[in-house]
């Protein structure tokens, strides 16, 4: 009777290179190396992986893999799956890269941008007691208005269909030219005209 045991799991060189790089970049994005590598592995995989497979492929301890998976679930970057007849939990990344970007951006906004906007709103409600505070409050208002405008733009982009959003991003230089043309047509102003003289 032929053996049904599976061969040891091993990453192809190209996959290993991507996983290693993603781990190194993780610390720059606010996650540790282990979590970055776990995510990269799941992202590249053609099928959902269980914690034992992840542990074997990356040579990580089972406890490190479990903690990493919990963090990725908290970020909503991996989804839990169950397979019929198997009590183990399997994990997969969303297949649509736009969905991954959207979720990541939403989580960063909730964790990092919203608290800053909240602090700025509270600071702008304060009555300044000196010229120094009035200057500081004006600078905070400028920061608040910029972040608030960016978030409204981001909300608009989020409502677009993925293919429309990708098309919009691909129009970068074209949009810049149109905006520049609009400025000239509307006199946007006088600075452009003055520069031409």
| pTM recorded for the entire structure | 0.69
Beta carbons of 116 and 89 less than 8 angstroms apart: no
- Say how far apart CA 169 and CA 154 lie, in whole Å: 12
Instruction: Verify that 49 and 83 share a domain, yes or no.
Output: yes
- pLDDT for position 34: 94
- pLDDT for position 69: 97
| Alpha-helix residue ranges (DSSP H) falling in the chain | 13-26, 33-44, 51-58, 62-74, 97-108, 114-125, 131-158, 162-169, 172-185, 190-196
- Say how far apart CA 41 and CA 158 lie, in whole Å: 27
Instruction: Verify that 83 and 23 share a domain, yes or no.
Output: yes
Assess if residue 168 is contained within a domain: no
- pLDDT for position 100: 87
| The pair of three-digit structure tokens given for residue 64, joined into one six-digit string | 């490190």
- Say how far apart CA 27 and CA 76 lie, in whole Å: 18
Assess if residue 18 is contained within a domain: yes
- pLDDT for position 195: 47
Count of the separate structural domains present in the chain: 2
- pLDDT for position 179: 67
Q: Does residue 84 sit in helix, strand or coil?
A: coil
For residue 85, the enclosing domain spans 13-92
Straight-line distance from the first to the last Cα atom of the chain, in angstroms, rounded to the nearest whole number: 90
Assess if residue 99 is contained within a domain: yes
Instruction: Verify that 147 and 82 share a domain, yes or no.
Output: no
- pLDDT for position 124: 96
Assess if residue 78 is contained within a domain: yes
Assess if residue 148 is contained within a domain: yes
Instruction: Verify that 78 and 137 share a domain, yes or no.
Output: no
Tell me the average confidence (pLDDT) per consecutive run of 10 residues in the chain, 197 residues long: 62 94 84 93 96 96 96 93 92 90 86 93 96 97 95 84 76 69 55 48
> Tokens 């908290």 sit at which residue?
74
Assess if residue 71 is contained within a domain: yes
């Amino acid at each position: 009777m032929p053996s049904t045991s599976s061969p040891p799991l091993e990453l192809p060189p190209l996959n290993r290179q991507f996983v290693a790089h993603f781990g190194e970049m993780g610390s720059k994005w606010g996650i540790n190396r282990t979590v970055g590598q776990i995510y990269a592995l799941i992202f590249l995989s053609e099928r959902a992986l269980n914690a034992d497979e992840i542990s074997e492929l990356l040579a990580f301890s089972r406890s490190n893999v479990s903690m990493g998976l919990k963090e990725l679930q908290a970020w909503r970057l991996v989804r839990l799956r169950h397979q019929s007849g198997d009590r183990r939990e399997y994990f997969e990344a969303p297949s649509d890269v736009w969905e991954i970007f959207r979720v990541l951006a939403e989580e960063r906004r909730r964790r990092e941008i919203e608290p800053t906007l909240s602090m700025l709103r509270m600071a702008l409600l304060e009555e300044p007691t000196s010229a120094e505070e009035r200057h500081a409050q004006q600078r905070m208002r400028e920061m608040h208005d910029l972040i608030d405008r960016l978030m409204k733009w981001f909300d608009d982009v989020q409502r677009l269909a993925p293919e429309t959003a990708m098309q919009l991003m691909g129009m970068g230089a074209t949009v810049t030219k149109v905006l520049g043309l609009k400025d000239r047509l509307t006199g946007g102003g006088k600075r452009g005209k003055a520069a031409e003289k």
